[in-house]
Amino acid sequence: MPESSSKLFNYAGKKVVLTGGASGVGAAAVELLAEAGCTDLTVIDRNEPTGAATAYVAADLSDPDSIDAACEAIGGGTDVLFNNAGVAGVHPSDFVLRVNYLGLRRLSEGLLPTMNRGGAIVNTASVAGQRWPQNLNEILELIAVDGWDEALGWIADHGELVDPTPYEFSKEVAQVWTMYGSRRSYLDFGVRTNSVCPGVIDTPLLHDFRRHLTEKVIDWMVDQSAGILTPAEIAAALLMLGTDASAAMNGHNLVVDHGFMGWFNTNQVDFAGLA
Ligand SMILES: NC(=O)c1ccc[n+]([C@@H]2O[C@H](COP(=O)([O-])OP(=O)(O)OC[C@H]3O[C@@H](n4cnc5c(N)ncnc54)[C@H](O)[C@@H]3O)[C@@H](O)[C@H]2O)c1
């Protein structure tokens, strides 16, 4: 255990890998990690980051070969992996699932065996995945499918489940994967796995959410959340899950939404704005 609280949020001496660091939440995390003392930060993204990352690996997280090459480039000794990159439901279902689940999983499994014990994997999921209990059996079936192409086959065969809301389904899978994968990561490798589940955040991706979820739904959520979340607020929660401040947390999906889901679950939101 850390000796003092000043060490709890400290990233000095840690090797950190972050996906999606070129924009939005990831870009905010790059800045916060530098402030927290991180001097070894590799960003994996299809776009080059402009922030204070110390290394950049260009990769397409929808492509298994590209992910494997990124793992090779990063090598061993990672302390914290932030799987943060994601895409909205404006893309074909298989692409959304490739980036938001299959790519996240492949990168984690590629780096995990050589990660340092005491390390952490932190996924960026979403409150959009809160309905995972309704689809748990199907999601566990998908998780049990070995192989990238085989999993894509399962996704294609389950269009009735995936296609109406591919983003929501991908984030349901991300939450279940966080719980499921945390057992092996912790027991076999001493690495915790958790996720942050944000509400609506003010990032470039919001443009796509407005397209696929509609302006009305997004505006309603922001109104009922007492304001939109900032990328820095989500980055702070991600960083907390990467440090010993969360040393006993594993397999946890942390909702970070100003309280919206709690109010929703206790019938305290006003649905009038959705009519
Ligand atoms: N913005 C929101 O309202 C919101 C809400 C809940 C959860 N999230 C999640 O937060 C995470 C960060 O999203 P953001 O809002 O900062 O979005 P963003 O679009 O600002 O940033 C996403 C980053 O991921 C990268 N990326 C996307 N697809 C990629 C691919 N195939 N290969 C490599 N890099 C890729 C992009 O280049 C970009 O740098 C995502 O997982 C998203 O689903 C966002």
Beta bridge partners of 43: 18, 56
C-alpha 123 to ligand 1 mean position (Å): 11
C-alpha 181 to ligand 1 mean position (Å): 21
246 Cβ closer than 6 Å to some ligand 1 atom: no
Q: Distance between CA 83 and CA 124 in Å, rounded? A: 6
Count of the separate structural domains present in the chain: 1
Q: Is 116 helix (H, G, I), strand (E, B) or coil?
A: coil
Q: What is the CATH number of the domain that holds 122?
A: 3.40.50.720
Residue 208 located in a structural domain: no
Q: Which tokens hold the place of 78?
A: 């990672």
20 Cβ closer than 6 Å to some ligand 1 atom: yes
CA distances from 91 to 8, 16, 121, 197 (A): 39, 29, 26, 21
**Sheet strand arrangement including 80-83:** 55-58, 41-45, 16-19, 80-83, 120-124, 192-198, 253-256
Of how many residues is the chain composed? 275
Angle between helices 136-143 and 148-157 (to 10 degrees): 150
- Closest residue CA from atom 40 of ligand 1: 86
- Tell me, what's the pLDDT at 206? 95
Residue-number span of the structural domain to which 9 is assigned = 5-200+230-257
- Closest residue CA from atom 25 of ligand 1: 20
User: Would the pTM of this model clear 0.85, i.e. be above it?
Assistant: yes
29 Cβ closer than 6 Å to some ligand 1 atom: no
What is the residue-averaged pLDDT of the chain? 96
**Residues with Cβ within 8 Å of residue 89, at least 6 apart in sequence:** 96, 165, 166, 167, 168, 208, 212, 213
Residue 154 located in a structural domain: yes
| Mean pLDDT, 10 residues at a time, the chain of 275 residues | 68 97 98 96 97 96 98 98 97 97 98 98 98 98 97 98 97 98 98 98 95 91 93 98 96 97 95 84
213 Cβ closer than 6 Å to some ligand 1 atom: no
Atom of ligand 1 nearest to the CA of 198: 6
Residue 184 located in a structural domain: yes
